[in-house]
Amino acid sequence: VYRLHGRYHEMAPNVVPMDYTKDPDVKLPMQLIINMPELKENPFKERIVESFSEDGEGTLSFNDFVDMFSVLSEMAPRELKAIYAFKIYDFNTDNFICKSDLEKTLNKLTREELTAEEITLVCEKVIEEADMDGDGKLGFADFENMISKAPDFLRYCFKKKI
| Residues binding another protein (CB under 8 A) | 37-38, 40-44, 72, 85, 89, 102, 105-106, 109-111, 113-114, 118, 121-122, 125-126, 129-130, 146-150, 152-153, 156-161
Q: Nearest CA to 127 among 85, 91, 97, 93?
A: 97
Task: Select 62 or 158, whichever has its Cβ closest to another protein.
Answer: 158
Nearest distance, CB of residue 113 and another protein, angstroms: 5
> φ, ψ for residue 136 (rounded to 5)?
85, 0
CB 69 within 8 A of CB 1: no
Task: Select 17 or 136, whichever has its Cβ closest to another protein.
Answer: 136
The span from the CA of 103 to the CA of 62, in Å, is 32
Contacts of residue 162, defined as CB under 8 A and 6 or more positions apart, other chains included, come to 3, 4, 7, 38, 69
Nearest distance, CB of residue 130 and another protein, angstroms: 5
Categorise residue 114: left if φ over 0, alpha if ψ from -120 to 50, beta otherwise. beta
Nearest distance, CB of residue 134 and another protein, angstroms: 16
Nearest distance, CB of residue 19 and another protein, angstroms: 31
Nearest distance, CB of residue 31 and another protein, angstroms: 18
Task: Select 49 or 85, whichever has its Cβ closest to another protein.
Answer: 85
Task: Select 27 or 78, whichever has its Cβ closest to another protein.
Answer: 78
Give the SS3 label for residue 60.
strand
CB 51 within 8 A of CB 88: yes
